[in-house]
A and B are shown apart, each in its own frame.
Chain A
Amino acid sequence: MSLIARLVAGCRGLLQRQRVERDLDDELQAYLDEATEQHIRAGMTPDAARRAARAAFGSVAAVKDHTRDTGWEAMVEGVWRDVRYAVRALRRAPGFSATVVLTLSIAIGGNAAIFQLADAVQLRPLPVDRPEQIVEVRMAHPERGRMGTFSGRRPLFTFALWNELRQRQRAFTGLAAWGAYPVNVAPGNIAQLGQGIWVSGGYFATLGVTPHLGRLLTESDDRPGCGTPAAVLGYGFWKRQYGGDPSIVGKRIALDGHPFEIVGVAPRDFVGLEVGRTFDVATPVCAERITNVDRSALTDRAWWWLAGVGRLAPGWTAARASSHLASISSDIFRATVPSGQEAKQTDAYLASTLAAYPASTGVSGTVREEYTAPLGVLLGLAALVLVIAAANIATLLLARATACERDAAVRLALGAPRSRLIRQLMMESTLLAAIGAIGGTLLGQPLSEGLVALLQSSGFQFFAIGFDLQPNWRVLAFSIGVASATCLLFGLAPAILATRPARSALVRGLSRSSSDARPHGALRAGLVMGQIALALVLVVAALLLTRTLSNLATADSGLDVRGVAAIVVQHPNVPVEQRRQAEVQLLAAVRAVPEAEAAASASMIPLTGESWSGHVIVDGVQHPRQTYFNRVSDGYFATLRTRFIAGRDFTAADGLDRPRVAIVNASFARELLGRSNAIGSTFAFPPRPGSTMQPIEVVGMVEDAKHLGLRDPFEPMAYFPVAQQSRPPDYVNLLVRLSTPGSTPTVVDAIARIEPTAVLLALPLQSQISDQTVRERLLAVLSSAFAAAAALLALLGLYGAVAYGVTQRVQEIGIRMALGAKGTEIIGAFLRHSMWVSGIGILVGLTAAVGAAPYLESLLFDLNPRDPALFTVVAIAFILVAIAAAYIPARRATKVDPVTALRCD
């Protein structure tokens, strides 16, 4: 009750300030009048009585102040007064304010941008109804029981397995399955790959997502046969491809050449369940059969292509769901055993169990694993930049505070409480930090979008990284937190020092003595030292990360992808028995193009992540070392410039009717065949049940070449001729080395002339390299930017400190010059001091960098994180630049005219 009374009274105090003020004046006057009256009655003259009354009362202003201070509104008023004062003070120094606000905005914006990305990777809950109820369902040990074909990014279910689970489980109120696939979204014969997801009928309903436009897919869309299938567009795709056309619902879209009806658009924030991935079109699972005419995953019990989540029934936990799933697992797996497998594989399959895993922040694919550490490192580096910026601003504020010291001393002497002065100075810092935080938040959004653009792949969009980056309260809270911490960091020390009462600042201020002309020297030097040390750490980190990128890009991969175009020709209309012939014709047509230096075909394009691996039988026993395989045409190694060590290339004669042959790489020869020259050796595949083993003769040997990824080590690899493949697929991968860059369209035209109905997709193979180094590029670019900013700030800090020292000591320098000191001596004195400061800073920085470098180790490639040469170079560079930064302002000291210097003040 009294709280409300206080609140009301306080508000009245604020709103009717003049009346309340007049009231108080009147009351005090009445008091003094009464007191005077009493003194007169006691026999004093009116004058003496008035004086006595006043003397007894004390300072009217002070009493008024005290009386006013009893209410909370006084505090508000005080703060408001400080704010206005701070605004005035900052407006009087526009250069200073702009510098600080800009520095802060960039530093806070950089931090916010990286945090927003880290938030999207790590923290952001799924934008679905009650995300805490969503769990992922999958095999407890997917590496053991799965055998067969895998497609998509999360191949954890076969269709049969999924169906059994759906019918038998009772832990979930809804289940949602999806499988990602690259899909051609262009209507013509030049393909444009988009990201498709097959979704089960219950997908959107289970997640509780509401459409942005039209409707989403339901159970009635996902039924056997499918009819005219429906498609839901992703928000980003709808904006990109259709310009956000609101009348899109009801129109058709060609997916892999088949018509789908667009029934709706997904909401903006819903980009699927996989962290870091988005989808362009969602189509019902049943439509898989329509696009995969040759061989459907719907009927193949050994084809893993779906992932699934469930919504826990009320009262259920992931643990309870797991034990329920474990109890029904054996029935589910027994009902779905793939046919034609070895007994050992079937046993492993039957021994599998299903379990539930929390997935409220989405299911973590490779993106979360790959980017958690880099984003952590980047956040750390960004924080260092912020600390340097704060130290820089602290130096500026310190200089300002020193300038105001006389003012502060006078006010302290007149009885102002020190806390008031600190509050007032802090208000300036708070104001700067607040504006910086707003600027940083505004800047953070485009910056984080820029970062995602940096992550975009230029090649197969299937592996593109996508996020929904809408600002949220976590990002906002982070920016505010960062700004507040920075504000304390740069604001408090100068405020405390400037109001330090122990020193007779007033006296000193009025007659400045040269012995104490550099106030807060230790703090100033410490700030510069800290900036140099931190900047050095950042520069070392940036150099390590940049060199990793260049190491990766120039690493000997055994193949030269520059100038090689990969062209995928899809011709499902060509019957199986004619495909071999069609491939030969395509290759001939491509080789006839004058710009084509060399051309070949391959069943898997290197560095795209496609792989085929297994075990082979050498000397009658299965070799334990796993090896990789590919099918290639003649000219493959010449096209990719992989060198032959021995033997021959495949020829047109190596057909199905001839003995089986292979070309192996050096690792295969060494590790599996146990000899340096493997020509003439044989190996074989384990025979299928009921067939005989077919020996494969090694006819050629090539140097090792990367196949999976640039970071992966060289693996044993065997290549087989495409001509010895009994059932060619419905596509041909062509690799063409072009003599002139940009002549891919000529080659594409040549292909289109002989196969007008085929769908073509052309990509420079080089883009695969840049796609594989996306993470390294992000780290290199950002850390370099941070290091540059940090180094610049630190140098400005050093420059500023020396320049300040020179201005502060003008008198002293003047006297010395008048007494005959040489310019070089004066410069030397300043240089010596700044070299001490930066030398210690460099040493501290080197120690810190050596200590911190191992944290980067997992992100480096082919590099010693404590490379002594690199550290030496950085240290020398810092020393040289520090000398330059100190020399320029120090030289100004010698320009001091003794007479002017002594006259000043």
Chain B
Amino acid sequence: MGDADKSTDLVQGTLHMLILKTLALEPMHGFGIGVRLEQISRGVFQVNGGSLFPALRRLERDGLIAGEWRTTENNRRAKYYALTAAGRTRLKRETRDWETQTAAIARILKASLGEL
């Protein structure tokens, strides 16, 4: 599988956050989530079904997202996932944590001796 699935390069745990963010914009089915992630990341992240479905199952199990069978625009049946209240809270917290961490990492990487 390796090469096609760039999501393995994702920092551990970030896939969950990205899925939550995607679903915060609008409810979406599995394939849609993958496509949306690829679009937004401009092709940097290609999430494969092999990673996506276990992640969806885990998020659903934790009550962060809820699934519902609906009809797609192509007139097919698909399971649409939407953020729950708990999911919204979690996304807010994770976004905040992420921003703090990346800012800190960025500072470290830019650091030069003069600033110390």
Answer whether A and B are interacting partners. Answer: yes
**Interface residues of A, Cβ cutoff 8 Å to B:** 1-2, 5-6, 9, 23-24, 26-28, 30-31, 33-35, 37-38, 56-58, 62-63, 66-67, 69-71
Neighbouring B residues of A57 by C-beta, 8 Å? 48-50
Contact of A30 among B1, B31, B54 (CB under 8 A): B31
Closest A residue to B64 using CB positions: A2
What is the CA–CA distance of A125 and B109 in the complex, to the nearest angstrom?
67
B31 close to A6 (CB less than 8 A): no
CB distance from A41 to the nearest CB of B (A): 10
* Beta-carbon contact of B79 and A28 below 8 Å: no
Nearest A residue to B4 via CB reads A56
Quick check: A27 and B79 within 8 Å, CB to CB? Answer: yes
| Complex contacts, A23 vs chain B, CB 8 Å | 79
Beyond A2-B63, A31-B53, A58-B50, list 15 extra A-B contacts (CB 8 Å): A5-B62, A26-B77, A30-B31, A30-B76, A31-B30, A31-B31, A33-B76, A34-B29, A37-B74, A57-B49, A58-B48, A63-B50, A66-B53, A70-B54, A71-B61
Determine whether B92 belongs to the interface, using a CB cutoff of 8 Å to chain A.
no
Say yes or no: A30-B77 contact (C-beta < 8 A), given A6-B62, A9-B61: yes
Is B17 interfacial (CB-CB < 8 Å)? no
The answer to whether B58 has its CB under 8 Å from any CB of chain A is yes
Contact B63–A30 (Cβ < 8 Å): no
Bound form: Cα–Cα A798–B72 in Å: 71
Specify which of A31, A33, A38, A70 is in contact with B61 (CB 8 Å cutoff): A70
Smallest Cβ distance from A669 to chain B, in angstroms? Answer: 94
Q: Which residues of B contact A5 (CB under 8 A)?
A: 61-63
Residues of B within 8 A of A (CB): 1, 4, 29-32, 35, 48-50, 53-54, 56-58, 60-63, 72, 74, 76-79, 86
Task: Give complex CA distance A37, B74 in Å.
Answer: 9
For the residues of A in contact with B, the DSSP-based class is: helix
Instruction: Choose from A9, A28, A33 the contact partner of B53 (Cβ within 8 Å).
Output: A28
Could you say which of B31, B74, B76 contacts A35, with CB atoms under 8 Å apart? B31
A322: min CB distance to chain B, Å: 60
Question: Are A34 and B48 within 8 A (Cβ)?
Answer: no
Q: Min CB distance, A654 to chain B, in Å? A: 101
Q: Is the CB of B53 within 8 A of A67?
A: yes
Bound CA span A69–B54, Å? 8
Given A30-B78, A58-B49, does the pair A71, B57 have CB atoms closer than 8 Å? Answer: yes
Given contacts A56-B4, A58-B48, contact A67 B57 (CB under 8 A): yes
Looking at the assembled complex, report how far the CB atom of A250 sits from the nearest CB atom of chain B, in whole angstroms: 69
Inter-chain CA distance A293–B2, complex, in Å, is: 100
Q: Chain A residues with Cβ under 8 A from B35's Cβ?
A: 38
Main secondary structure of the interface of B (DSSP, over half): helix
Residues on A with C-beta less than 8 A from B29 are 30-31, 34
The chain A residue with its CB closest to the CB of B79 is A27
A30 to B31, CA, bound (A): 8
- Quote the shortest CB–CB distance from B75 to chain A (angstroms): 11
Q: Which residues does chain A contribute within 8 Å of B58, judged by CB atoms?
A: 70
Residues in B with CB closer than 8 Å to A33 are 76
Expressed in whole angstroms, the Cα–Cα distance for A35 and B74 within the complex equals 12
Alpha-carbon gap, A69 to B50, bound state (A): 12
**Distance between Cα atoms of A67 and B67 in the complex (Å):** 15
Q: Are B61 and A6 in contact (CB under 8 A)?
A: yes
B48 & A2 in contact (Cβ 8 Å cutoff): no
**A24 partner residues in chain B, CB cutoff 8 A:** 53
Q: CA of A28 to CA of B34 in the docked complex: distance in angstroms?
A: 13
**Complex: A210 Cα to B78 Cα, angstroms:** 70
Q: How far is the CA of A28 from the CA of B4 in the complex (A)?
A: 18
Give Cα distance in the complex from A195 to B33, angstroms.
85
Bound complex: CA A853 to CA B28 (Å): 77
Q: Can you name 16 A-B pairs with beta carbons within 8 Å?
A: A2-B63, A23-B79, A24-B53, A30-B72, A30-B76, A30-B78, A30-B79, A31-B31, A34-B31, A38-B35, A56-B48, A58-B49, A63-B49, A63-B54, A66-B50, A67-B54
Interface centre among B48, B50, B62 (most CB of A within 10 A): B50
A336 to B13 Cα, complex, angstroms: 83
Cβ-closest chain A residue relative to B49: A57
Q: Is B48 within 8 A of A66, CB to CB? A: no
The minimal Cβ–Cβ distance linking A361 to chain B, given in whole angstroms, is 50
Q: Measured between C-beta atoms, what is the minimum distance from A388 to chain B in Å?
A: 47
The residues of B that contact A62 with a CB separation of less than 8 Å are: 50
Distance to closest chain A CB from B84 (angstroms)? 10
Contacting residues, chain A, for B57 (C-beta < 8 A): 67, 70-71
Kindly list the 10 A-B residue pairs having the minimum CB-CB distance in the complex, ordered from nearest.
Answer: A34-B31, A67-B53, A30-B78, A5-B63, A70-B57, A66-B54, A31-B31, A57-B49, A70-B58, A31-B30
What is the chain B residue whose CB lies nearest that of A55? B4
A34 touches B78 (CB 8 A): yes
List of A residues within 8 angstroms of B56 by Cβ: 67
Q: Which residues of B contact A71 (CB under 8 A)?
A: 57, 61
Residues of A within 8 A of B48 (CB): 56-58
